[in-house]
Amino acid sequence: MGRKLIGWLLCFVMIGSMLAGCGSKEEAMQETREEEGTKEESPEGETVKAEGGKIVFWHWWSAQEEEYLKTIAENYQKETGVEVELLQVRDFATVLTAIGGGTPPDETG
């Protein structure tokens, strides 16, 4: 009888924590957008320009692909005002090590 009660209690605690963790994320995301000044669309569909910020993009491209990436990053920066730092890494193991160490890149590609 005691084990069933504990089992049910744990089940309800897990469900409650899951509902609390998976609740309304829109409010939290809106607050994050406002703090970071990221780009979002207004209700009329107009694009609102961001207020600065920085994205670190780790990539393993070289030569012609890297030049295209630089062009894309420059255009993105002009359009949004967000600085894009390109960092070339030699292999995916570097990215996995950074993730495991708690310092992942903003974006990889």
42 pLDDT band, cuts 50/70/90, is: very low
* Mean pLDDT score, 60-81: 89
Phi and psi, residue 52, nearest 5°: 80, -155
36 pLDDT band, cuts 50/70/90, is: low
Give the residue, 24 or 5, on which the prediction is more confident.
5
74 pLDDT band, cuts 50/70/90, is: very high
Would you say residue 16 has pLDDT above 50?
yes
> pTM for this one?
0.48
* Mean pLDDT score, 89-94: 84
Phi and psi, residue 54, nearest 5°: -150, 140
Burial label, 81 (beta-carbon count in 10 A; 0-12, 13-18, 19+): middle
